[in-house]
Amino acid sequence: MMKRISLKDIAEQVGVSTALVSYVLNNKKEGRISKMVAQKIRETAKKLNYRTNQIAKSLKTNRTFTLGLIVADISNPFSSTLARIIEDEADKIQYTVIFGSSDENAQKFDKLINTFLNRQVDGLIISAPDHSEEQILYLMGQGIPFVLLDRYFPSIPTNYIALDNRQASIVAVDHLIKTGRRKIGMISYDTTLHHLLEREEGYKQSLKKNGIPLNEHWLKKVQISNTRENMEKVMDELLAMDEPIDGLLFASNTIASVGLRYLNTLEIKVPEELAVISYDETEALDLFYSPLIYIRQPLSEMGQKAVELLLKNLDGETTVQQLNLPAELIIRASTIPK
Amino acid sequence: MMKRISLKDIAEQVGVSTALVSYVLNNKKEGRISKMVAQKIRETAKKLNYRTNQIAKSLKTNRTFTLGLIVADISNPFSSTLARIIEDEADKIQYTVIFGSSDENAQKFDKLINTFLNRQVDGLIISAPDHSEEQILYLMGQGIPFVLLDRYFPSIPTNYIALDNRQASIVAVDHLIKTGRRKIGMISYDTTLHHLLEREEGYKQSLKKNGIPLNEHWLKKVQISNTRENMEKVMDELLAMDEPIDGLLFASNTIASVGLRYLNTLEIKVPEELAVISYDETEALDLFYSPLIYIRQPLSEMGQKAVELLLKNLDGETTVQQLNLPAELIIRASTIPK
DNA sequence: CTGAAAGCGCTTACAG
DNA sequence: CTGAAAGCGCTTACAG
């Protein structure tokens, strides 16, 4: 690789100090530097194709303008859509994003945190996996600026941007009931992640509110690490009961995607025999033979607010902000009244 | 934020030089340092929760162990799947990935390159947009290690990992013909991107080989920046011809996704009236009422080879390597014989 | 208007 | 076995 041009090279060519070159290129001390010299410096920088060494600059200024993004899995559309929004927001404030996937694994998550901190990221945006309280508390203890996104821990008083999951489930299940369903199942993950527990709570709450006693067999949980294998089993159970369910809520896009694929292979008619609502939108929903109703998370707003909140923290803001944004139920064909 | 612990802090506590601390923590000069001191240093580092400042290390060693990944759009499943594979491969060699989306725009692409170079990435993995030859040549001129992924320029003799696009189209169209189709359309992008031209060439070549004269109205192009709006128009054209097409090849996952959504709204029966094959797999393909045949790109292999090749370059390898990997036609229901 | 100098936190050739 | 010292490429308080 060719030798990179440094401030020193420019300084030597122009016959000034590196300090002056630095001032000019950073537009510091404007007006207090002779126009002539300033112009000469800029010209020479251009001619030599000078490129700031951000590493050196970061070492000196103690700011890297880098943001660490930890998602569950960047190849999941939910994560990658958020990543894209965050990329765009970060770009607006001159930030670059480094990312990593935790695979819902607290240990991998811990490793990512460490890697990112070693790299001196200015802050982190985090979708935390199950059982990662310790790492979150560590970050707080160290005073590292970060914002939790999507997932959060009610016991930890820290910044987060998330959905109002309980309300989202309530609206969804209310809709199922309003369109004539009474035996409503839900498939969620076997997890202690609070946002999913809230989704389950909302489901139960809606049933209760509408005078439908909860049948405990209606609420199924599948392993996060083993979703595909588990789904067929629990769906068979839900559909093979004495009184099979006539409404179903999927708690995530992955659950929905796998579930719909399986439904495609069955004789069940959606929405006539089984009305389905899914959390999150994926293109899969549109291509299912009966376009699905879904709970749309305000991803753009979530990503924007997360970056905005992180930036506030980088700028010294210390008050904690917690946001549970409302979801929107997108109503299409899959729950026409019976 | 709390003061970060530096080598100096450890050195002071233990009563040795920073040099020694550095040697111990980096496992340099093993055996030439007294066990006692080494252990004391390690203990103290642990006790103080020492964290290497990678920025300082990078400045000194001139290596950041950071890799820049430029994709078309991280929120597109094709990009995010590759990103995930690259993340995993990079992790194996202790690399972190910073990413950016070019949106198929040469100017944004140029900006990303500059940002990443300022940040002293050790190398780049690039899905280049249309008309970005200049930037690629610049990278070559500067001797920056990089590997093109998915897209490449035949006129530029540089490392790339891509698909054998021509052959992939040939196999796909051959299959359509073999199963009884004679009027075969293709929808591609309006672009000069070589990999798409190859896909088109393969399509034409198969028709020719099979004695079917090309009807120039069969090959449609849509704007990359405006895919959704364009698709309905060209599909209407293809299906409203005096002799409507009975076979169709989609040149990308986005084209397929939009196209299938539109087909869903029409009366056309797939595959009976129209046999469809798509490039790339997306979950959407599975949920279309007639599971689609598709051209599967070996994404894992592509991502792995890209990182492997980049690593070779970082280690000083200078011979250019160009790989066109074979695709696989995944045959399912959507082209049963007429 | 401009420069000499210190220092960010590391690594490493050299000396002993 | 260990340390003093230089230096990576910047920024910036200070002095003039």
Residue B213 Cα, gap to closest chain A Cα (Å)? 33
Pick from A80, A117, A119: which is nearest to B74 by CB? Answer: A80
A82, closest residue in chain B (CA to CA)? B75
Residue A100 belongs to what H/E stretch? strand A96-101
SS3 of residue A51 by DSSP: coil
Judging contacts by C-beta atoms under 8 Å, the chain A residues touching residue B318 are: none
Structure tokens, B180: 């009884």
Judging contacts by C-beta atoms under 8 Å, the chain B residues touching residue A264 are: 286-287
* Backbone phi and psi for residue B294, each to the nearest 5 degrees, phi listed first: -145, 160
- Nearest protein residue to nucleotide C8, judged by CA and C1' positions: A60
Sheet holding A247-250, edge to edge: A219-222, A184-189, A247-250, A275-279, A293-296, A328-330
CB A304 within 8 A of CB A323: no
Q: Please state, in angstroms and rounded to a whole number, the distance separating the CA atoms of residues A299 and A85.
A: 8
Mean pLDDT for the stretch of residues A161-184: 97
Scan residues 117-146 of B and list those with Cβ closer than 8 Å to A: 117-120, 142-145
CA-CA-CA-CA dihedral for B229, B232, B235, B237, to nearest 10: -90
What's this model's pTM, rounded to 2 decimal places?
Answer: 0.94
Q: Are strands B247-250 and B184-189 parallel, antiparallel or unpaired?
A: parallel
Determine whether the distance from the CB of B3 to the nearest atom of strand D is below 7 Å. Answer: no
The reply to whether A26 touches chain B by the CB within 8 Å rule is no
Q: State residue B253's pLDDT score.
A: 93
Q: State residue A1's pLDDT score.
A: 47
pLDDT band at A109; cut points 50, 70, 90: very high
User: Which residue is it, tokens 């549109």?
Assistant: A286
The reply to whether B261 touches chain A by the CB within 8 Å rule is yes
Mean pLDDT for the stretch of residues A51-56: 95
Q: State residue A267's pLDDT score.
A: 84
Q: Please state, in angstroms and rounded to a whole number, the distance separating the CA atoms of residues A162 and B295.
A: 38
Q: Is the pLDDT of residue A333 over 70?
A: no
- Comparing CA positions, the residue from A64, A56, A22 lying closest to residue A41 is A22
Average pLDDT for consecutive 10-residue bins of chain B (338 residues)? 81 91 88 85 93 96 96 96 98 96 97 96 97 96 95 97 98 96 96 97 97 94 88 93 92 93 88 93 81 94 98 92 97 64
Q: Please state, in angstroms and rounded to a whole number, the distance separating the CA atoms of residues B218 and A51.
A: 49
In Å, the largest CA–CA distance within chain B is 90
SS3 of residue A208 by DSSP: helix
- Burial tier of A262 (Cβ tally within 10 Å: 0-12, 13-18, 19+): middle
Q: Are strands A96-101 and B96-101 parallel, antiparallel or unpaired?
A: antiparallel
Q: Is the pLDDT of residue A66 over 50?
A: yes
Query: For chain B, how far is it from start to end, CA to CA, in angstroms?
Result: 70
Cα B49 to chain centroid, rounded: 38
Q: State residue B335's pLDDT score.
A: 54
Q: CA-to-C1' distance for A8 and C5, Å?
A: 15
Q: Please state, in angstroms and rounded to a whole number, the distance separating the CA atoms of residues A165 and B6.
A: 43
Q: Are strands B247-250 and B293-296 parallel, antiparallel or unpaired?
A: unpaired
Q: Mutate which of A115, A287, A334 to disrupt the B interface (most B C-beta within 10 Å)?
A: A287
Structure tokens, A295: 């709970």
Query: For chain A, how far is it from start to end, CA to CA, in angstroms?
Result: 70
Name the residue with higher pLDDT: B55 or A37. B55
Q: Do B58 and A53 touch (CB under 8 A)?
A: no
Q: State residue B138's pLDDT score.
A: 96
Q: State residue B2's pLDDT score.
A: 57
- Nearest protein residue to nucleotide C9, judged by CA and C1' positions: B56
Judging contacts by C-beta atoms under 8 Å, the chain A residues touching residue B261 are: 283, 286-287
* Amino acid (one-letter) located at B140: M
Q: Do A55 and B59 touch (CB under 8 A)?
A: yes
pLDDT band at A307; cut points 50, 70, 90: very high
Pick from B54, B120, B260: which is nearest to A287 by CB? Answer: B260
Which of A228-256 are b and which e, b meaning 16 or more Cβ less than 10 Å from the residue's Cβ? eebbbebbeebbeeeeebbbbbbbbbbbb
Q: Please state, in angstroms and rounded to a whole number, the distance separating the CA atoms of residues A236 and A220.
A: 11
Q: Please state, in angstroms and rounded to a whole number, the distance separating the CA atoms of residues B161 and B27.
A: 36
Q: State residue B217's pLDDT score.
A: 93
- Comparing CA positions, the residue from B162, B198, B195, B170 lying closest to residue B277 is B170
Q: Please state, in angstroms and rounded to a whole number, the distance separating the CA atoms of residues A314 and A308.
A: 10
Angle, CA A106 vertex, CA A101 and CA A111 arms, to 5°: 65
Tell me the pLDDT tens digit for each residue of A176-193.
999 999 999 999 999 999
Residues 6+ positions from B215 with CB-CB distance below 8 Å: B183
Q: Which residues pair with B67 in a beta bridge?
A: B97, B123
CB B279 within 8 A of CB B294: yes
Q: State residue A89's pLDDT score.
A: 97
Q: Are strands A146-149 and A160-163 parallel, antiparallel or unpaired?
A: parallel
Q: State residue A235's pLDDT score.
A: 95
Q: State residue B1's pLDDT score.
A: 47
Structure tokens, A6: 């440094």
Q: Please state, in angstroms and rounded to a whole number, the distance separating the CA atoms of residues A169 and A251.
A: 9
Judging contacts by C-beta atoms under 8 Å, the chain A residues touching residue B54 are: 118-120
Rank A116-125, A258-267, A290-299 by mean pLDDT and report only the highest.
A116-125
Judging contacts by C-beta atoms under 8 Å, the chain A residues touching residue B1 are: 142-145
- Average pLDDT over all residues of chain A: 93
Q: Do A87 and B64 touch (CB under 8 A)?
A: no
